[in-house]
Amino acid sequence: MSVSRACVAIVGGGSVAVSFLYQLIDALPDGAPLSVALFEPAADVGPGTAYQADAASNLLNIPVSRMSAVCRDPDSFLAWLRQREPAFLAGMGVRRIDPGDFVPRPVFGLYLRDLYEAALARAAARGIPVTRHAERVVGVWPQAGGGAAVLGERGTHLRADRVVLCNGNLPSVAFPRLAALPGYFNSPYPVAGMTGKIGQDDAVCIIGTSLSAIDAIAALQASGHRGPIHCVSRNGRLPAVRSPHNKSLRLPMLPEPEADGRVTLDGLLDSLRRALREAGGIEEPNDILGVPGPAAQALDAEIARSQAGPRPWQAVAAATNDRIEHIWHALDDAQRNRFHRDWRTLWMARRATFPMRNALTLQTLLHEGRLHVHGGFRDVRFEAARNGFVIQAASGELRAPWVINATSFSLDVASTADALVRQLCEDGIARAHGLGGFDLDFDTGCLLDTHGRRVDAVSVLGSLAAGTYFWTTSMEVNARLAAGQARQLAERFGATAHSLDGARVPDVDAHRT
């Protein structure tokens, strides 16, 4: 029986893909009989859409200390920053380096690019071939003998023992009727491209009031925009402002399980209350839930509380990251559905905090009357006669020549136009999770097919794993999940040579057509 290398194919080249690749190479022994094929059409591997070259106003919403892409090295990003020249960092908008700082997103993109190069160097030193394919994957088909066939849009075809989908965020499908219209942005990103098209005195309407909306507002202000900005959502709530005085902590334990071994939302809430008390905090509704009333008043209160000192509830909420996927998995379907119905909107508004620098920018705009935040969003339409958009909110009709969709990316794999995602679903290889993304086997991250059977040849990391692991917008959580899959594959392929049905499996380059 002829023996050769097993192959792992990584679909995507953004932050999660680089995190997985680096940790896979790190977990493998020298000379491991494994090759890696990475598919990414963009010029650079690493930044992806989230951390691409963009305006310096586009800040991370997580401090430097919690942004490592390497699970075993939580200070990886911080160490990278400290190794850079001060003049270089200043040119990127970084004036100081501190674990609690919030740096521009493009800086993290450069770190990821360098991490990718470090992974390639480490792979070469260990004798593990990594081949880059500058194309999208348009099809993946599990094979009867094991592994999967992978097809790229330029005709590259290879056989992989495992395909790891790290294909990033799906575009929003919230307003399909507006997609082709001039003046409409389906996403704020890159914000530099958006602000470069909008006239400085033009009115702008941003649909959404969460973190993406904050990025859009900050970018408009930094670009010199002088016109009115209307920010509209159903609840009209801005996110919570993160206190710069918060200290990291660890939760003492998971919630106590019920008799059947499951966890309830009520039990989880009791555990968080206990952790809050142990952290020296008190359960003050206006602090935890936010001050009701107009956005300017609520933001003033947020800023004052965050400037005054630590906010223990924020530290407790952030500490859930350490085990968030296990907490989510311990809830049964009824409890998870209840959370999405009754709590998710509030959780996203309060847990997903934003930095003080951007909060002060919004405060100035609100008090100057240039920014208006509206609740009760109902609809948006284009009126050709007036060459502009009409937005319906509780305060009445708003008009603007520009509309920015900041309602976040889509998790709906069933309705996307993405060729690979559609192929997997239409061929029955994957199925949608009821709460977003693909339905996955929790222990391995592998797809579940339409019959609920595990597809061992294909696993998923990143936003399309949200239904199974919940908080997959967090680099910290994604790095941990990536490390788990990397360890499993290293144990499977790292120690012994692999064969398929007694036939030799050629190296990656030999699979080209």
Read off the pLDDT of each residue in 464-480 and give the average, rounded to a whole number: 96
Read off the pLDDT of each residue in 357-373 and give the average, rounded to a whole number: 97
Residue whose structure tokens are 């507006």: 178
Q: How far apart are the first and last CA of the chain?
A: 25
- CA–CA dist 50, 61 (Å, integer): 12
- CA–CA dist 470, 476 (Å, integer): 13
Share of the chain above pLDDT 70, in %: 94
- CA–CA dist 50, 166 (Å, integer): 13
Residue range 97-126, pLDDT digits in tens? 989 899 999 999 999 999 999 999 999 999
Q: How many CB atoms lie within 10 A of CB 79?
A: 11
Q: How many CB atoms lie within 10 A of CB 97?
A: 14
Predicted pLDDT at 493: 86
Residue whose structure tokens are 């704020």: 188
Read off the pLDDT of each residue in 6-18 and give the average, rounded to a whole number: 97
Q: What is the dihedral of CA 323, 326, 330, 334, to 10 degrees?
A: 90
- Six-digit token pair at 395? 């305060």
Is residue 366 pLDDT above 80, yes or no? yes
Read off the pLDDT of each residue in 248-268 and give the average, rounded to a whole number: 77
Predicted pLDDT at 95: 87
DSSP assignment of 182-213 equals TTEESS--SHHHHHTTS-TT--EEEE--SHHH
Predicted pLDDT at 261: 66
Predicted pLDDT at 77: 97
Instruction: Report which secondary-structure segment, H or E, holds 313.
Output: helix 312-319
Read off the pLDDT of each residue in 238-260 and give the average, rounded to a whole number: 82
Predicted pLDDT at 263: 86
Residue 374's pLDDT band (cuts 50, 70, 90): very high
Read off the pLDDT of each residue in 296-317 and give the average, rounded to a whole number: 96
Read off the pLDDT of each residue in 133-161 and give the average, rounded to a whole number: 96
C-beta separation of 438 from 467 below 8 A? yes
Q: Quick one: which of 174, 166, 94 has its CA closest to 137? A: 166
- Beta bridge partner(s), residue 278: none
Is residue 502 pLDDT above 50, yes or no? no
Predicted pLDDT at 254: 63
Predicted pLDDT at 503: 27
Residue range 191-232, pLDDT digits in tens? 999 999 999 999 999 999 999 999 999 999 999 999 999 999
| β 148-152/157-160 pair status | antiparallel
Is residue 461 pLDDT above 70, yes or no? yes
Is residue 501 pLDDT above 90, yes or no? no
Predicted pLDDT at 259: 60
Instruction: Report which secondary-structure segment, H or E, holds 124.
Output: helix 105-125
Read off the pLDDT of each residue in 482-498 and give the average, rounded to a whole number: 81
- CA–CA dist 468, 323 (Å, integer): 13
Residue 250 φ/ψ, nearest 5 degrees: -120, 140
Q: For the chain, what is the radius of gyration of the CA atoms?
A: 24
Is residue 3 pLDDT above 80, yes or no? no
Read off the pLDDT of each residue in 29-45 and give the average, rounded to a whole number: 94
Of residues 177 and 254, which shows the higher confidence score?
177
- CA–CA dist 132, 158 (Å, integer): 13
Is residue 399 pLDDT above 50, yes or no? yes
